Amino acid sequence: MAESFLEDIYSKAFILQSLREYVEYTCMGRERDARREYNLATAKLEKLLPELGKEDPQLAEDIVCAAEEIRDHYDDLGHAMAVVEGTLIPSIFRLTAYFADIDVEEGKYKLYSANSAFLTIRDMESELTLHSEHDPLWESYRIARSIYDPMLECYHIFGVGLGYLPYQLWRLSEESVTIVIYEEDETMLSYAHAYGVLDWIDKEAIEIICMADKAELVKAFRRGISWHVGKYYISPWKKQEYKEVMNGELLIMEANAALERSMQNRTVENLRKNKKHLQVSFMQIRDSFSWKEWVIVSAGPSLDEQIEFLRQSKGVRGIIAVNTVLKRLVKENVLPDLVVAADQYIQLREHIAEIGEFTEGIPMIAERRVNWHFADQYRGPICFVSIEKNSDKNTNEEFWEVSGSVAALALEAAIRLGAEKVYLVGQDLAYPEEKAYAGGMPYFVDAKARCTMRVPSVDGGLVATSNAFNWFRQGLESQISRHPDISFINLSRHGALIKGCMPYGNGVNL
């Protein structure tokens, strides 16, 4: 258990958690759960009030008045919740201020009280705060809510902190899940036991993997999430701490997890809405083309240099455009022969806004979870494909095993269309001259801020890029390596070098 003096403080501070859960459960219509949490909070307050009345009579009176008003209007939910949120919870924060006076430094760490009286911690070397300075327990509850799935039995947490997130996940599951914690710092683990809430979890429900070697810990984490069915979460401070470890692999993993979390509801919406479209098969699309050379057009800065090449290619080679470049190609009067789209984001609406009519008759290959607004505005025939195994037996969608950017989907389309030569346009996967995209793209990105590494460039030097772009590049390289019979030509002058592609200027005949 945590130090005895902290257990007493945390017991009082937990009143805030119970009151907030009362509000949440009330909004969800879970009356019994709401009443349980409210009764827990008021039972603790009743024990505290006599002593509080001596120390701060006004605060004690404010709490009593608020509690009485809630009691008298408990069935008037709108009124009762307003009193809890607007009066009682602020009063409890005034109460916890009496206990929130811890501020100590040990080595590189500073442990100090948050406003709720639960401790937070700061790494003085990296200047990163590991938990909320307002209410770390509630912060972790919201994180736990965002990743909790009652179907799962195991969670993998990279970075223990003071144990708040593992505890909230365990609590949300009604103490039924196993939690695997990955941590390289034994000091942090000792803090989680002595000053945090890790010991609030049954020992049988926790597995701790502690390795001083950061690269080995990442490998163990990777093995863990591949061997067990479960979700994972990488703490924000660990992302920063590990950004240079194994080419930033931890950042990529967390980006994927974050994307999955953000897409959960949107995925269902997109799937539901996209089902209404009449589909064409890929075979129908393939039978309508006979080109052996294809050009894949992406949104990188080098697209600006290759507009004339695209004009010359029209009618000579097939042109595949990723969704991002549609508006630019319409403006340049270079309509593609095929479009591919994969992103689920609502921002995809901007990629087709006011140009839907220009897509009439142009087939599109779209990942089945593509944003439904984009698919709805598209006027050409659509072939939906899956890039993950589909458990829905009622679907006849193609399964294409690709990953990374939408360009990977375009590349797979060219390969399946029988390409013997593939040109890559705008596939820079880097920030040459601190540019992220070609002109006319529906995005603005601070390339300088996004840069996390430098990689070999087409021109023989090094070019700035990001972990995500580097991951996309590696995915394309893997895809290209499986097709040695096809010639791949990268028409970027200063972008990232893509292995397996003939670089621009190496005797490339345009």
Residues 6+ away with beta carbon under 8 Å from 60: 49, 52, 53
Alpha-carbon gap, residue 307 to 70, rounded angstroms: 68
Residues 6+ away with beta carbon under 8 Å from 303: 297, 325, 328, 425, 426, 438
Alpha-carbon gap, residue 463 to 449, rounded angstroms: 14
Alpha-carbon gap, residue 396 to 507, rounded angstroms: 44
**Mean pLDDT per segment of 10 residues, for the chain of length 510 residues?**
82 95 94 93 93 92 94 93 96 93 93 96 94 97 92 94 97 94 95 95 96 94 82 88 82 74 68 76 92 95 94 95 93 95 83 90 91 88 80 60 86 95 95 87 75 90 90 92 95 94 66
What is the DSSP secondary-structure string of 88-146?
A: IHHHHHHHHTTT---EEEETTEEEEE-TTSSEEEEETTTTEE-S-SS-HHHHHHHHHHH
Alpha-carbon gap, residue 147 to 141, rounded angstroms: 10
Alpha-carbon gap, residue 229 to 247, rounded angstroms: 25
| Residue 315, both tokens | 């009618």
> Which residue shows structure tokens 């827990």?
40
- Which pLDDT score is estimated for 451? 84
- Which pLDDT score is estimated for 254? 78
- Which pLDDT score is estimated for 390? 52
* DSSP letter (8 states) at residue 211: -
Alpha-carbon gap, residue 417 to 411, rounded angstroms: 10
Residue 320 · residue 334 · CB < 8 Å: no
- Which pLDDT score is estimated for 507? 45
- Which pLDDT score is estimated for 393? 46
Alpha-carbon gap, residue 497 to 18, rounded angstroms: 55
Alpha-carbon gap, residue 296 to 406, rounded angstroms: 11
Residue 356 · residue 365 · CB < 8 Å: no
Residue 304 · residue 289 · CB < 8 Å: no
| Residue 320, both tokens | 């595949």
Q: Cα–chain-centroid distance for residue 250? A: 12
What are the beta bridge partners of residue 297? 321, 425
- Which pLDDT score is estimated for 486? 96
